[in-house]
Structure formats: structure tokens, C-alpha cells
Amino acid sequence: MAKEGSGSILQFAPLQSSVDEGFWHRLSSLKLNKFGIDDSPIPISGFYAPCSHPQVSNHLTLLAESLLSDSNDESTMPSVIRGNRNRCSVPGILYNTNTMEGFHALDKQGLLKAEAMKIWEDIHSGKAVEDCAVLSRVLLISFADLKKWNFHYWFAFPALALDPPATLVDLRPASQWFTLEEAESVSTACNEWRNSSVTADVPFFLVSIGSDSHAAVRHLKDLEACQRDGQKLLFAFYDPCHLPNNPGWPLRNFLALISARWNLKTVRFLCYRENRGFADLNLSLVGEALITVQQRWREQQCVPNAVGWELNKGRKVPRCINLAKSMDPTRLAISAADLNLKLMRWRALPSLNLEILFSLKCLLLGAGTLGCQVARMLMAWGVRRITLLDNGRVAMSNPLRQSLYTLDDCHNGGDFKATAAVRSLQRIFPAVEAEGIVMAIPMPGHPVSSQEEKSVLEDCKRLNDLIDSHDVIFLLTDTRESRWLPTLLCANRNKITITAALGFDSFLVMRHGPGPFNSIPNLKAETEDSLAAGMDNLVLTNTDGQHRLGCYFCNDVVAPTDSTSNRMLDQQCTVTRPGLAPIASALAVELLVGILHHPNGIFAEAEIANSSSGGNFELPLGILPHQIRGSLPHFQQMTLLGHSSNSCTACCSTVVSEYRKRGMQFILQAINHPTYLEDVTGLTELMRSANSFQLDWDDDIEVADDECVEL
């Protein structure tokens, strides 16, 4: 530590740089989308704060906001929000070259001197007294190799060199320089200065101490008032350096201002440092320096020499950083998308199995209002592999309700929804593995001619292959009959199946129970693309003997038939309240995530909210219901349970057995003959028995005059 009267040359601790990755990403975006080959200098803002740790100095940092946004005019400085105590703004300039050769060819000393000239002009014009932030500047030269994501760069912090150098008379911890009363008052005054939104980021200031030991902190422009009062005066600055024997770099230009502007020969300075956000006079330093400069210093035309290029491991060479792994937009998108899920695992949901979600293959049958919303929700949960099947085109009425489409998709008759949806998903999240299938689903009640049979059977086989190659199937189509064939195929393959259906102001979300036969191969024996390692642990055998959960058709007593013919306009369109689809879609995806994280998987029993017997709240995601029915008029939601029916036209053992025996011929017969499914399942006989049932009326019932009872 320097002692009083030592007379040594005052030496300053160099400022160090730190660049956030967001800065390089913003620079890359500007270079690609705005600047192009224009290599004009770019205004930037750096940030620093006073030292806050006894063993670590603060760096001058560049962040994404250090650069202007894409919409700003390139001639203006980046917008800096003032009043942030942790971000004292430092104006600067960036020279980003187009080639590595151009980077090496830059006149580095000339650029440094040009920035020093700006500081010198601000000192002589008085601007540095009015806005002391301009006393510090940052110069950055760089070359951004956007093909390999290599960034070559070199920082300079321009400083005016005193000639001759300042002589250090005294330097000691501030706590040893002040009396106890003065120290307490100085700490209080500095804390108030730092905590005020007006002065928190003003890095150069005056500390005056009266004869009564009362301290005050003032702006530099108040110097004359402080001198008239005959008080002790210290020139204070936020010191980013932690060293006990050296003040930080910002003092260099501060001394230049004091000498050139006020012609002072002896200067007492305070290197202000903090601990936990409050003034720390043990860490802060108070020093006294003698300044002897030539007469020409008071002339603006005589610019002092400039120093300030940052050393790299003790050498005057640039730095290089490779950000290929983090700067590629797709990788950045993946990182950002996964952030919320990974943070969920910290405390809220430690058992969240991201591997299952990342490897899951989901097939969405229907790319309309529900399909668009379900796809978005799946991506939010980390699902990367999504297939959408639909044969419709985007109509003018779709974009407002179907979130993956825009007006551009409606031109020239409209793009196919499946392909337009995939384009949109890829724009939202480039890493998604999305595929669009343009295909109609064969439906019972919609007979086909002999000429169409081959095409329909090919569609049936293709749908079967799609279901077989995916892990989860969402039924999101507009009509009831379009859900029949997928339900049958899913029951045959024991696939996780989720149905979402909308009314005008009500909705149904349900998970289908497992198929009637559990003899299909375990998922481990499926193709590797079917599900990755995490999915192998789901249980696929029903060992408790419980009733199967029903499918979408289990409560029907008639076979699905043509519901599209002879419909009015409001019946041709899916007329629902706009808020219904997002609610139902979100619940459908949440239901899937619950199945994936339940130890029994597809065979998990149904749980009902507020039931004394149901509801396993020990599971991390809560209960796992069978059906969720909601009503917007009453803002109500219910969880219901429905067991499978032995006469179900889609999932009962009779129907699945017939399909396994006869294959596509069975499906073709179901399509062409509306009553075939009812005959096979026994529903025809059931309805015949119900029609023949006679009610015995009591003839003695008296009915009041003019009163009619209608049954």
C-alpha cells in the first residue's frame, strides 16, 4: 500500500471486458438483416458498476441491448434506460469488418486516438461536466464469421495519458482516512446517491465534508459551490477495480478533466466500492495525487496521447470466441424452448421426463381449430415430432380461429391445411420434425363406388400404417364418423388415443381406454422410431382385472352415419365460441402428459376430481381423469368416467376380432352398409327388443281438463 509522501507514479488497474452471447446474436441479426456489406461504425453502449467484491473486479459488459434494435436508425445510439444502479452506461463505437483481412488492416492506433479526441472535446466543451458518463468510452473492433460462428474482437478503453504522469502522495482504505463521524456520514450520503433513480448510474461525483463532519454528494457542476464553502473535497468515481493498491481505469480521464478544466495541482480522490449494494469504506480507497501538466494541455487543439487497448493474456492481440453450438438460430430456439421445461424440473416437477416428450411421435387427425391449438401445446411441452393429417384447404374464415394460418394461406383457393400448418410450425420452431399428410379418412355411412374402392382401401392402409408408426393419436376431426376408423385401428394396436370434440358452448376431452386384446407386442419390440427409451417403461398389460375405459363411441346405441349431407350453413361449419378450442386443446395435451407420467400408462384407472375414492394427488401432475366435459355458459368443468361397452361399434372385442379376421374387407363393408356395424355388435337386436317393449298404463289416472302430458 502506498504511504503518505511516497511520491510514486500513480498506476491504474486496466479495465476488463465481458461480452454476453446475446450481443453477438444481436450483431449477427443486424449484419444479416440490416447492415449487409455496410461496415460503417456502429454506436454501442457498454455497462459497468462499482466493485462489489473484495477479490473480484467488475468488467465492462456488452449485452444485447448494447446494440440498437433492428427497427432503430443505425445513426442513433442504442436506447439506454437510465437509473439502473448496476449499469453505468459507457458510450462507444463498433467497427465490424466484412473480412478477416479487413479486421487486421484496421488502423488501430488511429481509431483509438479518434475516440480519445471525442473525450478531449467533451472535456473542453463542458459536456463532460454536464454528463460525466462521456468521460469513459469503449472502442470495439470485430470480424463476425457468421458461417462458422467465429467472432474475432479487440476492446480498447481510450484514456488520455498525463504528461508527465501523476504522482501518488497517499493511498489508503477510506475507513482509515475519514474520522468515524465522517465515515458514517460519507457512507450515508453515498448510499442515498446510489439508491436514487436520478443519480444511481452517475459514475463521477463530488464528496464534500464540512467542519461538522457532515458529508454531501454533489454533481461535478457544483464544484465552485463546494470550493467556496471551504470544505474538504474529494473527487469520487465508481471504481470497478478491487485491488487495494491501485485505483481503477476510469480515474485516468477523470484526472485529465480535473487538470484541463479546473487547473488543479493537488487532487484527493475517492475510489468508491461496495459490498452487498452498500458503500464499503474498507474496500473503497482515498488517495491524493499531484498533477503537473504542460501549459498546452489547456488548449483544445493539443490532444494528449491515448492508451487503452486491452491485453489478452498479457499480449496485445485480439480475442476469438466460437459460438457455433449456441449461436445457430435453430439451436438457440431449442435452448429457449427447453428452458421453461428444464426450470420446471428444478422444484415444481422434478420427475418430469423430458426424454419421453422429446422422442414422442404424435399424429393429429384434423388440422383445423383443434389441430392447430394441439400442435402448439405439444411443442410447448417439448414434443418435437408431429404429423398432421387433413384433406381440407385453408378458407378465408380460418385464420382468425385457427392459429397456424394467415391470409397468405387462403389465396388461390387456399393451401392444403396439412402442408400450411407444417410450414407455420417450422417458422415458429425450426427444430420441429413436422409432416403434413393430405388425405381423407374413410367413413362409415359414406358409401363408395366400385371404382373408388381401390383408392379408399389404400387410404385405409395408409392410415393404419400412420397409426402404427406413431405413439399418440389425437382425434380432432369435425365429424363423428371420421373418428370411427382411427378409433378401431387404435384399439387394435393399443395406442394412446385422445379425443377432443366441440359443441357450440361445450366441449369433451377424453382418453380412450386400451383395446380389448392385450397381446400386442411390447413397445420395446416396436420399431425404434416408435418411441425412444423413456417410453419403454409405460405399462402395456392390464393386470388388475379392472373394466376397460370406454372410447368415443362406447355410449352410442347406433353406428356412426353420414352427418354431412343436407346441412345448412351453420351446420356445415364448426360453430363454437372462440375460446372453446384453446381450452379443450390445452386439456387434451395436459391429459396426454398425465398418461405419460402415470406408472400404469394407458391402463391407468380413471380418477374423478373431488371424489372420496378417486384422485391420486400424490402423482406429480395430479389426477388422471377419463373424460373432461366443460360448459362455458356456467363456466363449469366435470370429470366423468365411462366404461367400455360390449356393443361398441369401434372398440369392442367383436369389432376388433372381425377386423383382425377380415381386414380391409370388414372396413369396406362397414363403410358401404350403414347397419352392418349395428348387426355385428348386437345393437340391431337391442333396438328391436326396445321397440317391442310395451308400457302398461293405469287407466285410472285422472288428467285435468285441458291438460296434456306429452311423452
Q: Could you give the residue numbers annotated as active site?
A: 573
- Asked whether the bond before 164 is cis by omega within 30 degrees of 0, the reply is yes
Distance between CA 700 and CA 704 in Å, rounded? 13
Give 3-state DSSP helix, strand, coil % of the chain, rounded to 5: 35, 20, 45
DSSP E strands: which ranges in 135-281? Answer: 138-145, 150-160, 167-173, 204-209, 215-218, 232-238, 266-272, 274-275, 278-279
Taking alpha carbons only, the member of 527, 500, 529, 499 closest to residue 513 is 499
HSE at residue 520, side-chain half, CA atoms within 13 A, is 21
Buried b (16+ CB within 10 A) or exposed e, 10-37: bebbbbbbebeeebbbbbbbbbeeebee
Q: Is the dihedral of CA 217, 218, 223, 227 positive or negative?
A: negative
Distance between CA 127 and CA 328 in Å, rounded? 42
Per the DSSP assignment, residues forming a β-bridge with 638 are 629
How many degrees, rounded to 5, is the angle at CA 479 between CA 477 and CA 481?
110
Quickly tell me which residue has 411443442 as its cell: 379
The answer to whether residues 621 and 349 touch, using CB atoms and an 8 Å cutoff, is yes
Residue 611 — φ and ψ, nearest 5°? -95, 140
The 8-class DSSP code of residue 643 comes to B
Quickly tell me which residue has 410447448 as its cell: 380
| H or E segment and range at residue 287 | strand 285-290
First to last CA, the chain: 104
Q: In the numeric block, which cell numbers belong to residue 353?
A: 421426463
Q: In the numeric block, which cell numbers belong to residue 413?
A: 383457393
Quickly tell me which residue has 358452448 as its cell: 505
How many degrees, rounded to 5, is the angle at CA 502 between CA 501 and CA 506?
120
Residue 156 to residues 237, 318, 385, Cα–Cα distance (Å): 20, 10, 48
**Cβ-proximal residues to 634 (8 Å cutoff; 6+ apart), any chain:** none
Taking alpha carbons only, the member of 42, 27, 17, 66 closest to residue 149 is 27
DSSP E strands: which ranges in 317-420? Answer: 319-322, 361-365, 385-389
Per the DSSP assignment, residues forming a β-bridge with 270 are 236, 286
Task: Give me the torsion for CA of 671, 675, 677, 682, rounded to 10°.
Answer: 180
